[in-house]
Amino acid sequence: MHGHAQTSDIRTAANILASARYAIALTGAGISVESGIPPFRGEGGLWTKNGEPPMDGYQRFMADPAEGWRQMLDRRNSDDEFSRKLAEAVPNEAHLAMARLERDGVLKHTVTQNIDNLHAIAGSVLLTEIHGNRTKVRCIDCGDRRPFADIDMSSIPPACARCGGMVKTDVVMFGEPIPRDALRESDEQAGRADCILVVGTSAVVYPAAAIPEMVLQNGGALIEVNMDPTPYTRHATVALHGRAGEILPLLVDAVVAARTAT
C-alpha cells in the first residue's frame, strides 16, 4: 500500500497535473497488467519468458501476405493464453482514471503503445495508438483503418474497401514502420506538452520512448507511474512506484481536490 511519502508524492503530482497548460500521457503494457494481459518485459513478461520475437515479422508478412493472414487468423482464433487474455480483457481502474482525466480536461492527449483497445473502451478519445489496435485493420496503401469485423474475408489477403490495396492488421509488426499519421500526431502532441504522465512502460522501445525525452527537453514535467525503475525514473519530477490500477485513481482524486482548492 502507500506509505506517507507516496501520498505526498501523489499530491505533488496532482498539483503539477492540475496546473499544467498541456498535459499528455504515454502508456505501455503495464497499465493493462491489472486487466489480465501480461507485459513484455520484467516480471511475468512475454519476452522475459519466451525471448524477444524475430524482428522481421513485417518483411515475412509482405513476402507472403496470404500465409501471413492465415497465421494471424489462426493466432486470433487460437485459445492460447495470450490470445484469450487479450480477447477477454476489460479496462481496469487505471484506464478509467485516464479517461476521467481526459473528460475533466486535465489530460489533453494519450499516446499508447498498447494494441488492446482498452483505453478506447474505457472512454479515452484523444488517443494515438502508436503500435496500432488489434480490433482494426489498416490498408498499407492508403492508410484506411476500419474494424476487423467490417472486412470481407472471402478472399485472403482482403482488399481495402476504399482503394483495393493491401490490408493488414492495424497492429504494427516488428520491422514495420510506425504509420505516418500516428507518428506525426505523437510528435505534435509531445511538442505541445508541458507535462507528461508516463504509465506502465519500460520506455526502451522507440519512437514511443522518445516522447518523454521531448517533453523534458522542452522543460516540461515528467510524472512516472511504474512498478520498476526505467531510464526516465531519475529524470522524473515525481516517480510513483506501484501498480497503476491503485495509484491512478488516487491521483485522479488528488487532481480533483487540487482543482477545487484553487
- Judged by the rule CB under 6 A, the positions of this chain that interact with ligand APR are 28-30, 33-34, 39-42, 45, 113, 131, 200-202, 205, 226-228, 230, 243-244
Q: What minimum distance in Å lies between the beta carbon of 42 and ligand APR?
A: 4
Q: What minimum distance in Å lies between the beta carbon of 242 and ligand APR?
A: 7
Closer to ligand APR by Cβ: residue 34 or 170: 34
77: region left, alpha or beta (phi > 0 left; psi from -120 to 50 alpha)? alpha
Cα angle, residue 122 at apex, residues 151 and 104 outer, rounded to 5°: 130
Tell which residue, 172, 200, 221, has the closest CA to residue 44: 200
Closer to ligand APR by Cβ: residue 216 or 227: 227
**By beta-carbon distance, which residue lies closest to ligand APR?**
30
In angstroms, rounded to a whole number, what is the distance separating the alpha carbons of residues 206 and 190? Answer: 14
Q: What minimum distance in Å lies between the beta carbon of 260 and ligand APR?
A: 27
Question: How many other C-beta atoms can be found within 10 angstroms of the C-beta atom of residue 170?
Answer: 22
Please pick, among 4, 131, 235, 241, the residue that the annotation labels catalytic: 131
In angstroms, rounded to a whole number, what is the distance separating the alpha carbons of residues 139 and 163? Answer: 8
Closer to ligand APR by Cβ: residue 39 or 68: 39
What are the start-end ranges of the E strands in the chain? Answer: 23-27, 107-112, 127-129, 136-139, 145-147, 167-169, 195-199, 221-226, 238-241
In angstroms, rounded to a whole number, what is the distance separating the alpha carbons of residues 131 and 113? Answer: 5
Bridge partners, residue 240, by sequence: 225
Active site residue 4: no
Q: What minimum distance in Å lies between the beta carbon of 130 and ligand APR?
A: 8
Closer to ligand APR by Cβ: residue 161 or 178: 178
- As annotated, the active-site residues are 131
